[in-house]
Amino acid sequence: MSKAAKVVAALKVEQLTERQARAEHKRLADEIAHHDKLYHEKDDPEISDAAYDKLRQRLKAIEERFPQLLDMFSPTQKVAPTPTTAFAKVTHRRPMLSLDNAFSDEELQGFFDRVRRGLERETDLKPDAEIAFSCEAKIDGLSISLRYEDGEFVQGATRGDGTTGEDVTANLRTIKDIPHKLKGQGSSKPPKSLDVRGEVYMERKAFLDLNARQVAAGEKPYVNPRNTAAGSLRQLDPEITAERPLRFFAYAWGEAEPRSWKTHSEYLKLLKEWGFKTNPLTRLCRTPDDVRAFYRKMGEDRPSLPYNIDGVVYKVDRIDWQERLGFVSRAPRWAIAHKFPAEQARTRLKGIFIQVGRTGALTPVADLDPINVGGVVVARATLHNADEIERLDVREGDMVIVQRAGDVIPQVLGFVPEERPKNARKFHFPTKCPCPLETPVKAEEGGVVRRCSGGLECPFQQVERLRYFVSRNCFDIEGLGGTHIENFFNDGLLKIPGDIFRLKSKEAEIRKREGWGDLSVNNLVKAIEDRKTIPLDRFINALGIPLIGEATAKIMAQEYGDVDDWLAEMLKAAKERKKTPDDVKKEKAAAAVGESYGRLCNVEQIGVTTADAIAAFFSEGHNVDIIEDLRKQLTVEAVKRRVIAADAALKDKIVVFTGELNTMTRDAAKARAEELGAKVTDSVSKKTSLVVVGENAGSKARKAAELGIETLTEEEWVELSGSGR
């Protein structure tokens, strides 16, 4: 992060100018997208839940103050990354949304107050009337939806992005807690069509036993139960899933036709009658004080539970009240997750070693005496960078304090001074890369990252780039994991990405290697062949261009359309990059550096800094050679570009919907507005152009009137948008 970015990141949201807010919004969105991929798709997070939640809270606060920055690409408008292509896609009949979080009693009280105000406004609820909440421990696992038709289990899917998940039916059938046929007769007979939702998880003891078997077999132990459960469920071979000790708790529903229950607690009882296991740590609380007492009890019992929990979920018990309260953005108004504070433990720091990433960044890692933190055995923790080590002043032999929140790799908070060994020596960050070339390490100007200067000559960087190339959000080649990549590289089978698609010619050599038989080699070859056709956005993402991640790759694919135009424009931009980014900022004109580079600078979410990094990448001949080598072997699919006409009715307008719509869903209305060129936000401000007011509209309609913003009824919106045609 540059010095300027650090200054902006340290400012409170209310102190930001619009220009600063725009830069901070992009930084946060990119960082959140990065962590979403690690958590949801690689099952390998690198920051704590608490740290992640702070990023989202700051992003949301910026969007509330600057609603013009809110768009469809924002992480606040998504539940999780779009599923990868390893499994068939399943569209949920009703979205699987996320929950808002509360981290303090003040935030929890705010939730209670909002629920009461909403019910008083939407119903005839009296000010002193009781509001019952169904409270349950928040299981730390993987959200799943199970589809039943006439009582038969027919399909199961992951949550995915909330709208589309992955079909993991075969794997779910191996879990003993999931009934293949539902029980129940008469009043307890299950609905004809039913989506049961819940959590796949792994108990602590089962996780530790599994890790003991891994170590005994000479394999790398797993990080924690949640990631292990998620990885087990996403195995392409159900027999592997069947060997893993997975469990399931049911706690919600999606589609249910017909639905007989009137409260959430009644539904939980029905689940047990149908044959499901539900969390026994569930209680119906009738006052806020009861809710708080239950939270404290769960916090006290947490260390002794057989499975991990990271908080408590509260839901308004009455279903009709849930329906009246509705949803906002990606979360229901009638439920919230009350998170536990981060857990801490003390252990000995055995040493500090350096890892080298695909961009050459050197990351210090703490090697710890294994310690159980919240049911997870921790042996390593990132120390982030040289500045962080300097700040912490941790040394080999120190007793250190480590913290984890939820299921993440922990962070080192500091050391215990009175337990520091007398001969403990200060850690000095290396000036040479630990790779065999021992190339000099250079610090980024104005930044904290230190990088190996060897570029693609550095074997560590080459291996990490190849690992990234085959990862899930890139080419997603099953069976070619990080260890295989490293072994193949060290033995000369792989050097550049194109070599992956030449492995078929080396089948005989691979079969001679330990652990590779006919079946595994055939599966690998098939997986590689299946990826010889790739969408343009995945192709761009896989190249590892500095500052280009999944979201920006999609935007670039939309901008340029096909690989030929994209590559031609990138090469032109690289040639035109004759001036520094500061020069471009001062002149603010594409003509200053040429048409192609100027166009690149103006692509949404790119800007001058990223454009400069892209142009620098394409100025290196070996990078272009790698791309050309890949193009000879692959079919890169063009994207279907979204085109908004210059005369679109709502081009560049900011639109807000409030109240209940009768002729269409809120999502359909938003989609239509975006088709007409508008940006749809959830809050009303002076920047808002238009507010569509449905039935039972509340404060947003009042604020629009106070600000003199144009409002439309649903009928007027239908006429303007052509939604009824």
What does the DSSP assignment read for 77-131?
A: G-SSPPP-SSS-EEE-SS------EE-SHHHHHHHHHHHHHHHHHHS---TT---
151 and 223 in a common domain = yes
In a domain, 314, yes or no: yes
d(CA 60, CA 283): 31
In a domain, 475, yes or no: no
Exposed / middle / buried, residue 469 (Cβ in 10 Å: 0-12, 13-18, 19+): buried
172 and 64 in a common domain = no
359 and 283 in a common domain = no
The enclosing domain of 630 has a CATH number of: 1.10.150.20
CA angle in degrees (0–180, nearest 5) for 539-540-542: 65
CA angle in degrees (0–180, nearest 5) for 53-55-61: 100
Exposed / middle / buried, residue 73 (Cβ in 10 Å: 0-12, 13-18, 19+): middle
Last residue of a domain, one of 322, 339, 356: 339
In a domain, 96, yes or no: no
Last residue of a domain, one of 315, 339, 363: 339
Both structure tokens of 529: 């062949």
The enclosing domain of 136 has a CATH number of: 3.30.470.30
Is residue 700 within 8 Å of 684, Cβ to Cβ? yes
In a domain, 254, yes or no: yes
Residue 539 in 3-state DSSP?
helix
User: Could you tell me which residues come within 8 angstroms of residue 209 by beta carbon, excluding any fewer than 6 positions away?
Assistant: 245
**Is 42 annotated as catalytic?**
no
675 and 596 in a common domain = no
Q: What is the pLDDT of residues 364-401, one digit of tens each?
A: 999 998 877 755 678 888 888 888 888 899 999 999 98
d(CA 685, CA 654): 10
283 and 147 in a common domain = yes
Is residue 538 within 8 Å of 468, Cβ to Cβ? no
Q: Which amino acid is at 341?
A: P
Last residue of a domain, one of 637, 668, 684: 637
In a domain, 550, yes or no: yes
121 and 200 in a common domain = yes
The enclosing domain of 7 has a CATH number of: 1.10.287.610
d(CA 485, CA 491): 10
251 and 134 in a common domain = yes
Residue 589 pLDDT:
44
Domain total in the chain: 5
User: Could you tell me which residues come within 8 angstroms of residue 534 by beta carbon, excluding any fewer than 6 positions away?
Assistant: 475, 542, 634, 635, 636, 637
In a domain, 512, yes or no: no
- Taking the CA of residue 86 as centre, how many other CA atoms within 13 Å lie in the half-sphere pointing to its CB? 24
- Supply the DSSP symbol for 68: G
219 and 173 in a common domain = yes
Residue 406 pLDDT:
43
252 and 332 in a common domain = yes
Is residue 377 within 8 Å of 208, Cβ to Cβ? yes
Name the E strands within 569-704. 635-637, 654-658, 679-681, 690-693
Q: What is the pLDDT of residues 478-496, one digit of tens each?
A: 888 878 888 898 888 998 9
- The residue among 346, 340, 392 whose CA lies nearest residue 368 is 346
pLDDT < 50: residue spans in the chain:
81-85, 405-407, 586-591, 725
CA angle in degrees (0–180, nearest 5) for 454-455-456: 115
290 and 181 in a common domain = yes
The enclosing domain of 363 has a CATH number of: 2.40.50.140
The enclosing domain of 671 has a CATH number of: 3.40.50.10190
593 and 691 in a common domain = no
State the residue for tokens 């960087």.
461
Residue 284 pLDDT:
96
Determine the structural domain holding residue 627 and report its residue range: 536-637
Q: Do strands 533-535 and 635-637 pair parallel, antiparallel, or not at all (unpaired)?
A: parallel
- State pTM to two decimals: 0.47
Give the H/E segment covering residue 25. Answer: helix 18-36
Write down how long the chain is.
Answer: 725
- Supply the DSSP symbol for 197: E
Residue 10 in 3-state DSSP?
helix
Residue 83 pLDDT:
47
In a domain, 712, yes or no: yes
135 and 15 in a common domain = no
In a domain, 37, yes or no: yes
Name the E strands within 178-261. 193-201, 247-257
Both structure tokens of 187: 């009043």
Burial 488-499 (b: 16+ CB within 10 A, else e): bbeeebbebbbb
Q: For the chain, give percent helix, strand, coil, nearest 5.
A: 40, 20, 35
Catalytic residue among 37, 60, 78, 138: 138
User: Could you tell me which residues come within 8 angstroms of residue 243 by beta carbon, excluding any fewer than 6 positions away?
Assistant: none
